[in-house]
Amino acid sequence: MDRRTFLGVASAALLAEGLPSAPALAAAATSPLKPMEVGLLVSPFGAPEATIRRVHDLGFSNCFLSLDGYINGFTPAIAATFRDLLARFEVTATTVEVVGPPPLEWNFTRGPSTIGLVPPATRAARIDALRQVSDFAKLVGIPQVQTHCGFIPEDPADALYPGAVEAIRAVAQHCQGNGQHFLMETGQETPTTMARMLRDVSMPNLAVGLDTANLILYGKANPVDAVDILGPHVRSIHAKDGRWPTNPSELGEEVLIGKGLVDFKQVLTKLHRIGYAGAVTIERETSGPQQIEDVRQEKLYLERILREVMA
């Protein structure tokens, strides 16, 4: 399964578990999200109704939509479908993301030349895809667009750096026109490098999507320390856990929240103290029944920590 595909395939057993009727869901009003409310990252391509229904069934009020399957297919009809589904199942979509089109190799050997807006060969196509998803999000009423910008050069004199700055600025400008923030997801770059990009792009709607595990999986930083550098710019969180890479060609291992090296209590405490009020979105990169069980455990784990943090 592609690493960006999460909870996108329907499970008949889950769908049959005591859900309210569609009319009842449609009639209920969706409540505003509470600060740091736990959500779920999903990829709904091919099964949007089953996926949004599952978010509701698992007890989540909000989700983050990974939408690469819809590239070149973001029609007004699809936007209307998502608006209806989110309303029916009382789910708020906080952010949309695309990382494609391919090629994409999530490793240290081919990753720098295939991921994000840094590689020149795919830059124009990725900018176009992000503009498409931004326009789609505007139709649905989703205020944030996120992506991996890639292995941003640590050396600002690197020949790839100026083009990356302009590419990120172009997407941020498009999102600004749609009344949205554009978020750079942490992972492939050090927090200091991302802070430099924020400064150099110099757009008021450019911000950070903090993936707690990616900083470790790519060997770039401890997320607790990263908050000291990027905290004021964080507008979304992927709650994910992992371990440092030990193979210099491969990323570290993503693991169940609480089994890795992320100190969620410290990360969430620091963010709470500086006023972060967005969602805390679970991203679990397993599949099938085990993924469902993992997500349930992770939800309980995070909710317990958040009760302590926000007491």
- Residues 75 and 81: their CA atoms lie apart, in Å, by 10
pLDDT tens digits for 13-33?
A: 333 333 333 333 333 334 589
Tell whether 193 is covered by a domain: yes
Tell whether 68 is covered by a domain: yes
Number of residues that this document lists for the chain:
311
Torsion region of 182: left, alpha or beta (phi above 0 gives left; psi -120 to 50 gives alpha):
beta
pLDDT tens digits for 104-138?
A: 999 999 999 999 999 999 999 999 999 999 999 99
Tell whether 299 is covered by a domain: yes
- Residues 290 and 19: their CA atoms lie apart, in Å, by 21
Tell whether 10 is covered by a domain: no
Tell whether 200 is covered by a domain: yes
* Domain count across the chain: 1
Neighbours of 54 (CB within 10 A): 27
Q: Contact 245/208 with Cβ under 8 angstroms? A: no
Tell whether 23 is covered by a domain: no
Tell whether 2 is covered by a domain: no
> For residue 185, what is the domain's CATH number?
3.20.20.150
Q: What is the token pair recorded at 248?
A: 């210099």
Strand 241-242 relative to strand 254-255, pairing: antiparallel
Tell whether 6 is covered by a domain: no
Domain of 78 in residue numbering reads as 31-309
Mean pLDDT, rounded, for 50-58: 98
Could you tell me the pTM of the whole model? Answer: 0.91
